[in-house]
Every structure is written in structure tokens, then in C-alpha cells.
Amino acid sequence: MFAALQRLRREAEQGKAQAQAELGWRYDIGEGVEQDYSQAVKLYRKAAEQGVSFAQFNLGLYYKNGWGVEQDSSQALKWFCRAAEQGHKDAFSFIGFLVLISDAQKQFCLYWFCPLPNGKYHLHR
């Protein structure tokens, strides 16, 4: 396990998005490392900015719940929308939840997350 964790850290430091997301997850749950939400957020952000939907979704959760960052529904919505654009199914549910929170966010979200007559949803690109 130690060798695998060292390899993962090395790859994350080299900027490999999947490694950053996986190492972030390890810090998130305390798998092989001491649980550290601040470190998880840093790694999730790096991976999310490179387009890893899992990291985008988890970053949204962190902002929604205030884990390792100040709670910020607008940032949560931003990251959930990015994950949803890539088809992350859980992100759609959280977008719906956040839309119920405030009218200002509804306007932003309705632009990106548009209901279609057939009951499905379309994301603007």
C-alpha cells in the first residue's frame, strides 16, 4: 500500500488529473492517509479544473457542505453543473436540490439545466 500511495503522490505532483482525484478521495475519507479536507479540496480542484467529473462533483459537495472550504452554494452549483455536463448522474440531483435553495441560483441553473418537453433535460454548452 505504501508503494502505491507513493506512486499516486508522484503522479499527482506531476499534474496527472486522475491521480489528483484519487489522492483527493484518499484524503477525503482517510484511506492510507490522515483525513484532511483542506488537502482533499486542493487535489479535487486541480483534477476538476482538468475536467475529471468525479472531482468536479466532489468539489461541489465540499462547497455545498462547507467541508474544508467556506460553504458557498454558487460554487457548489458551478461544480455540479460542470460534472453534469459530462454526464455525472448524481450531479443532476444536486443541481435540482440547489435550485430549490434560492431564486438567484435558479436563474443561473435554468440557463444551464433546461427541462425539455419530453421530461428529460438539456445542458447548454
- pLDDT at 108 (0 to 100): 57
Q: Report how far residue 41's alpha carbon sits from residue 13's, in angstroms, rounded to the nearest whole number.
A: 15
State whether residue 69 is helix, strand or coil.
coil
| pTM of this structure | 0.77
Average confidence (pLDDT) over 104-123? 52
**Do the Cβ atoms of 20 and 47 come closer than 8 Å?**
yes
CATH of residue 13: 1.25.40.10
Q: How many domains does the chain have?
A: 1
Instruction: Give the domain extent around 76.
Output: 2-123
Q: Is the pLDDT of residue 65 over 50?
A: yes
- pLDDT at 94 (0 to 100): 83
For 3, phi then psi, to 5°, come to: -65, -40
More confident residue, 26 or 73: 26
- Cα torsion through 75, 99, 89, 82, rounded to 10: -30
Q: Is the pLDDT of residue 116 over 90?
A: no
Residues 6+ apart with CB under 8 A from 34: none
Handedness of CA 56, 61, 67, 70 (dihedral sign): positive
- pLDDT at 52 (0 to 100): 97
